[in-house]
Amino acid sequence: MGSRSLSHCPKLYRDFPNRALLEIMDDMQQTDSMRTLTTTIKRQYLREIVAGTKKIEYREIKPYWEKRLANYEAPFLLRLINGMSKDAPEATVEVVKVKKNRLLGHYELYLGRIVEVKNDSLLH
C-alpha cells in the first residue's frame, strides 16, 4: 500500500490506525467511482436482499434489459426501489457478476455487499 498523508482528514479520522482508515477510504472511493443502475423491485425480494438471504437478482432476457445491461460491466451498483414515492424503501447493492442464462431466459445478477439501505422500517 502506498504512503498517503492523512493531514487533509478531520482529527477524528486521523486518530484511527492509518491502515484501517485508508482501507475505509479506498472502499468509499471505489463505491463512489462505480456506476449505478436503478430499477424497481417487489417488497418481498427487497426484504430478502436486505436480510442477506437473496444473493441473486433475476431479470428477464428482453430487449429492455439487454440494452440496459450492455452499458454496465461488473462490478457496478444496483439501486433497488420498492415503489415510486420519495420515502419508498430502497437498497443499493454491489453487483459482482452478471450471467446471461439463455436456458432459463433470464439474467442472473450476483449480489455482493449492501452499500446503503433507506426507509427499511417500511419493509417490516
Report if residue 42 sits inside a domain.
yes
Longest dimension (CA), the chain: 55
Report if residue 1 sits inside a domain.
no
pLDDT at 37 over 60: yes
Report if residue 43 sits inside a domain.
yes
Could you tell me how far CA 2 lies from the centroid of its own chain?
27
Report if residue 62 sits inside a domain.
yes
Task: Identify the CATH number of the domain in which residue 54 sits.
Answer: 2.30.130.30
* Cα 109 from Cα 54, distance rounded (Å): 11
Q: How many domains does one find in the chain?
A: 1
**Residue numbers of the domain that contains 65:** 35-123
40-91: pLDDT as tens digits: 999 999 999 999 999 999 999 999 999 999 999 999 999 999 988 889 999 9
The CA angle 17-35-113, to the nearest 5 degrees, is 50
Strands (E), 26-105: 36-40, 56-60, 76-81, 90-101
Peptide bond just before 75 cis, omega within 30 deg: yes
DSSP state of 55: -
Report if residue 23 sits inside a domain.
no
Report if residue 19 sits inside a domain.
no
Could you give phi then psi for residue 14, rounded to 5 degrees?
-65, -20
For the chain, the 3-state helix, strand and coil shares in percent, each to the nearest 5, are 35, 35, 35
Instruction: Report which of residues 16 and 49 the model is more confident about.
Output: 49
The reported pLDDT for the residue numbered 33 is: 73
pTM above 0.75, yes or no: no
What does the block give as the cell for 71? 452499458
Report if residue 114 sits inside a domain.
yes
Report if residue 8 sits inside a domain.
no
- Report residue 101's pLDDT band, with 50, 70 and 90 as the boundaries: very high
What does the block give as the cell for 27? 472502499
